[in-house]
Amino acid sequence: MKEKLMYVCSNCGYESPKWFGKCPICSEWNTAIEKKSVIEELKSNPVEFKEINEIKLNGFKRLRTNISEFDRLIGGGIVPGSVILVGGDPGVGKSTLMLEISRNLSKVGEVFYITGEESEEQILIRANRIGMKENENLKVTSSSDLKSIFQALKSEKPIAVIIDSIQSMRLSNIGLPGSVVQLRDCAEALVDYSKSTGVPVFIVGHITKTGQIAGPKLLEHLVDVVLYFEGEVQTGYRILRTVKNRFGPSNEIAIFEMRNNGLQEVKNPSEIFIERGSLSSGSCITSAIEGTRTIFLEIQSLISKTFFPSPRRLSKGIEIGRVILISAVLSRRLNLPLESFDIYVNVVGGLNVKDPSIDLGIAVAIYSSFADVELDSDCVYIGEIGLDGKMRKVSNIEKRLMEAHKMGFKRVVMPHDRNVKNFKDLELLQYNSLLEVLKNID
Ligand code: TYD
Ligand code: MG
């Protein structure tokens, strides 16, 4: 073994063989700490290769939480020895979800809930709020010292361990809790614990508004499953999304409603984000497929004369690049003088939509606000738009149409598609270009 002295920045994790007063990466002063980095010599024991058909699955059985939306989201239950990261803004409901999962899992074994942020009393208050009965299988501690936590867990056989949150945990004496080094060290130690014992570990991580670097993003590659909680804290709906899943589909969503007594699953989310009835000008109904769910959404847009040298484009729930692109298509291909207007676009309900099939909805909403026309609330606009202003086919059109039919919509405006079958009581209005669509409005 050869030992080499290394210095590490306790704020950002920068490593250097030379001592530094000011970190060249994050510009913090006096953050250099000695770190003994051990370079192992080539191991004398060679690894062993197996034929793939010699490998055995040792009793691989998923653990169900019996929160059916959660189980579905992560691919049918929790895999033993897996580490699940649950990220989200403060106040979105991470601790509530963790407590509900703990309650359910504690029916089959002991759950250890470690909170570094709250007192044990606060956990009890939350437990009362979600109507938890007396529960001898749920063990709670308020601690942020990961070493003593591991020490205590040594003699236990948990069915699951919850760490709420990773930003409040401390392992080594390098850096404060929440610093990059602590975050990484704690997460690595938890992954190691989980892999060596087979105990699933949930790690809660806040998305930090200011210090993006010390957020859950940093840990994504270390863990098996990454879930993000989305939704506006003020509104009731919360969307849990799989961003990564080594054992199941990713980009799947599950929707919950935050009630007075905890999170309630929403099993049929198609219609929760829209209100049926008349629409104001600037609003348009569209549909998106997120994971396996088809959801109807209201896109709102507001166009107002700009007071700025370059007009503003702001969006919520849609990537701003798409709004800029669609505004450019409307300006160039349809000659709308949008360069002298600010454009605001919003997806009602707090969902972040990735599906490009809402392009047409965005374009039509912008046009509706610009021309001050009210759109038909029984009509759904579906389609991707190209830079040439042409409509492009979207994936799973049959599924979208079936859902629209089921929800009682009367019309769907969509790109030409020879293969779609007709539905009774659902008129399919098929167009080649955005220009044709807008000509047929009003
Ligand atoms: P919490 O789970 O503490 O959020 P996080 O751990 O992500 O910071 O809960 C967030 C909010 O939810 C909090 O403002 C209170 C509210 N809440 C309810 O509305 N109903 C409930 O049953 C509970 C437990 C919390
Ligand atoms: Mg919390």
Contact, 223 vs 104, CB < 8 A?
no
| Ligand 1 atom 18, closest CA | 260
Site of tokens 């989201």: 73
Task: Please state, in angstroms and rounded to a whole number, the distance separating the CA atoms of residues 331 and 290.
Answer: 30
| Ligand 1 atom 19, closest CA | 260
The pair of three-digit structure tokens given for residue 287, joined into one six-digit string: 């549909």
Task: Please state, in angstroms and rounded to a whole number, the distance separating the CA atoms of residues 293 and 270.
Answer: 8
Instruction: Please give the backbone phi and psi of residue 72, each rounded to the nearest 5 degrees, phi first.
Output: -60, -45
Q: What atom in ligand 1 is closest to the CA of residue 96?
A: 2
| Cα-to-centroid distance, 94 and ligand 2 (Å) | 6
Task: Please state, in angstroms and rounded to a whole number, the distance separating the CA atoms of residues 320 and 314.
Answer: 7
Ligand 1 pocket test: pick from 258, 260, 263, 265 the residue with the most ligand atoms within 8 Å of its Cβ: 258
Contact, 309 vs 376, CB < 8 A?
no
Ligand closest to CA 97:
1
Q: What atom in ligand 1 is closest to the CA of residue 204?
A: 6
Average confidence (pLDDT) per 10 residues, the chain, 442 residues: 74 88 89 68 71 76 93 94 93 95 96 95 95 91 95 95 94 82 92 95 84 69 93 82 91 92 89 85 95 92 94 94 96 93 92 93 97 95 96 93 93 93 92 95 78
* Residues with C-beta less than 6 Å from any ligand 1 atom: 88, 90-96, 126, 129-130, 258, 260-262
Task: Please state, in angstroms and rounded to a whole number, the distance separating the CA atoms of residues 169 and 144.
Answer: 5
| Cα-to-centroid distance, 401 and ligand 1 (Å) | 36
Task: Please state, in angstroms and rounded to a whole number, the distance separating the CA atoms of residues 242 and 107.
Answer: 25
The CATH label, of 3.30.230.10, 3.40.50.2300, 3.40.50.300, 3.30.420.40, for the domain at 271-439 is 3.30.230.10
Ligand closest to CA 90:
1
What local confidence, expressed as pLDDT, does residue 232 receive? 75
| Ligand 1 atom 15, closest CA | 91
Q: Which CATH architecture has domain 64-267?
A: 3-Layer(aba) Sandwich (3.40)
| Ligand 1 atom 13, closest CA | 91
Ligand 1 pocket test: pick from 92, 96, 117, 165 the residue with the most ligand atoms within 8 Å of its Cβ: 96
Give the C-alpha distances (Å, rounded to integers) separating 218 from 21, 25, 116, 187, 213.
25, 16, 19, 10, 7
| Ligand 1 atom 21, closest CA | 262
| Cα-to-centroid distance, 94 and ligand 1 (Å) | 8
Residue type, 211: G
| Radius of gyration, alpha carbons of the chain | 26
| Cα-to-centroid distance, 127 and ligand 1 (Å) | 11
What local confidence, expressed as pLDDT, does residue 38 receive? 46
| Cα-to-centroid distance, 141 and ligand 2 (Å) | 14
Contacts of 164 (CB under 8 A, 6+ apart): 94, 95, 98, 113, 114, 115, 116, 117, 118, 204
Q: What atom in ligand 1 is closest to the CA of residue 130?
A: 22
If 0-12 CB within 10 Å is exposed, 13-18 middle and 19+ buried, where does residue 242 land?
Answer: buried
The closest alpha carbon to 320, from 285, 296, 346, 340, belongs to 346
Give the C-alpha distances (Å, rounded to integers) separating 184 from 51, 86, 149, 201, 202.
34, 16, 17, 15, 15
Ligand closest to CA 92:
1
- Tell me the residue length of the chain: 442
Task: Please state, in angstroms and rounded to a whole number, the distance separating the CA atoms of residues 185 and 35.
Answer: 13
Q: Where exactly are the structural domains of the chain?
A: 4-37, 64-267, 271-439
| Cα-to-centroid distance, 241 and ligand 2 (Å) | 18
Q: Do domains 64-267 and 271-439 have the same CATH topology?
A: no
| Cα-to-centroid distance, 96 and ligand 1 (Å) | 6
Q: Tell me the torsion sign for CA atoms 260, 86, 205, 88.
A: negative
